[in-house]
Amino acid sequence: MIIPRSFYAKDTLIVAEKLLGCTIHADRDGVITAARIIETEAYCGTADLACHASRGKTPRTEVMFGEPGFAYVYMIYGMYFCLNFVTEKEGNACAVLLRGIETTDGRKIYGPGKSCRYLKIDKSFNRLDLCSKETIWLERGAKHKVMFKTDRRVGIDYAGDWKDKQWRFIML
């Protein structure tokens, strides 16, 4: 069953945790690739100096200020795409970054760029509705409790005290 919009409309830290164990599906030209989410990272609005929205609403970040349950995809280092799941209520500009997946054959892939490469996600996925089951969607994982640990977010040394937040969620 596709994860409904109400799932994404919650506190970003809760969504980041609850995404662990869910399955992401991406349809590229009729070929669907699926993987289980094993690592996420939370970005909590305009006050969070590590969040792209901290610089305000721009054409790039506009989707983050919109309705929850949409994809925010951007490129880093001129070669890697990163997928985020927009969370909370419209206007809050929060999102959860996909940091790691486990493939259907059991390989673990860590890193947002490598995860998107495996899933064949690029900029064309930006602003897509995650709740429509058209091109990209998520389904709930197993009903048992997912064990996880938290850690500091990666690559945000510029973000002052925000760099020390334990907002990375890693499935054990």
First to last CA, the chain: 24
Q: What is the 8-class DSSP label of residue 67?
A: -
Q: Which residue type sits at 155? A: G
Helix or strand or coil: residue 112? helix
Which residue numbers in the chain have pLDDT < 50? none
Asked whether the CA dihedral 16, 21, 22, 24 is positive or negative, the reply is positive
The residues that bridge with 37 in the sheet, in sequence order, are 101
Helix (H) or strand (E) holding 116: helix 112-119
Q: Please, which residues have CB within 8 angstroms of residue 21's CB and are 6 or more apart in sequence?
A: 36, 37, 38, 141, 142, 146, 171
Q: What is the identity of the amino acid at 87?
A: T
Looking at residue 141, what is its pLDDT? 74
pLDDT tens digits, residue range 11-60? 999 999 999 999 999 999 999 999 999 999 999 999 999 999 999 999 99
Q: Can you give the pLDDT at residue 142?
A: 67
pTM over 0.75: yes
Q: What is the pLDDT of residue 143?
A: 73
Domains and CATH numbers, the chain: 5-171 (3.10.300.10)
